[in-house]
Amino acid sequence: MRSVEAEGSMVLEEPPCPSGTALLCLSGVCAGYGNVEVLREVDLEVPPASVVSLLGANGAGKTTLLRVASGLLKPTRGIVSLFGTDVTAHKPYQRANVGLCHIPEGRGIFPALSVRENLELSVPLRTRAVDLERALAAFPILAGRMRQVAGSMSGGEQQMLALARAYLCDPRIVLLDEVSMGLAPIVVDQIFESIRHLADLGISLLIVEQYLSRALELSNYVYLIDHGRITFAGRPESLDEGSILHSYLGVDSGGQDKGAGDGKEP
Ligand SMILES: Nc1ncnc2c1ncn2[C@@H]1O[C@H](COP(=O)(O)OP(=O)(O)OP(=O)(O)O)[C@@H](O)[C@H]1O
Ligand SMILES: [Mg+2]
């Protein structure tokens, strides 16, 4: 049992999985940019076949945490383990090759390349055959756009292209950074359906989302991060929206989403 205290209140009641079984484990991680420390002693675990949400205000360090997990940013202290191996010193491509897929904030697609080229580039070296069928079955709209330049597609279509990578990489764990950002409600519905589909396939997910209620609905476990520190870790049902969401995310107690009116509108 671990406990965390931040500003005198938060308690981390139980770890999400027995020690040593997490697919992804961050332990005592500190990280930042230059002299600016962003993550402070972060402990976080993603168990097998689970959905874990990482929630927090703008600038709290969510993207930074995902970048440390995928190897895009080196921690200044602490350990990152993937599938039971210490990968702190491993490069992003090494982590991708063992089954970690990071869909970054801002999509991470190549706008000047065609949809097909983008998809083909997503296939990691360890995968010999390029089997696009699985991704196209998940996002049929892409099938008719294979020759289109990715940057000329709508925001929602580009996000589907970004998410299609998760089907091509054959990952064991996917990190999703605000994949619904800036999309129309109907597209957000499709994006969340595809996230649920990935979870149904048994792929573990670590998701950063602006739609709190939707994220909580999907999640087995939730972490709140505030100024680079984990301030809550537990089951979604343990979250007291009135105090915790208000304190840490600056939203009203009626279950509203960050910056949103009813959980449907961004
Ligand atoms: N490349 C960078 N160089 C310097 N500072 C950075 C850099 N990237 C992020 N930061 C700073 O690190 C802090 C955490 O940023 P981060 O992007 O991780 O937050 P976030 O929780 O993802 O926020 P948002 O909800 O707005 O996406 C912020 O203060 C941000 O200004
Ligand atoms: Mg971010």
Is a pLDDT exceeding 60 seen at residue 87?
yes
Is a pLDDT exceeding 60 seen at residue 251?
no
Is a pLDDT exceeding 90 seen at residue 70?
yes
Average pLDDT for 232-247 = 74
Ligand 2 mean position, distance from CA 144 (Å): 31
Determine the pLDDT at residue 6: 41
Ligand 1 mean position, distance from CA 140 (Å): 34
CA–CA separation, 67 and 73 (whole Å): 5
**Nearest-CA residue for atom 25 of ligand 1:** 58
Q: Which residues are near ligand 1 (CB < 6 Å)?
A: 33, 36, 38, 56, 58-64, 105
Determine the pLDDT at residue 252: 53
Is a pLDDT exceeding 80 seen at residue 15?
no
Is a pLDDT exceeding 70 seen at residue 5?
no
Is a pLDDT exceeding 70 seen at residue 39?
yes
The pLDDT tens digits for 208-226 are 998 888 999 999 999 999 8
Determine the pLDDT at residue 21: 86
Q: In what order do the strands lie in the sheet with 51-55?
A: 100-103, 173-177, 204-208, 51-55, 221-226, 229-234
Ligand 1 mean position, distance from CA 81 (Å): 23
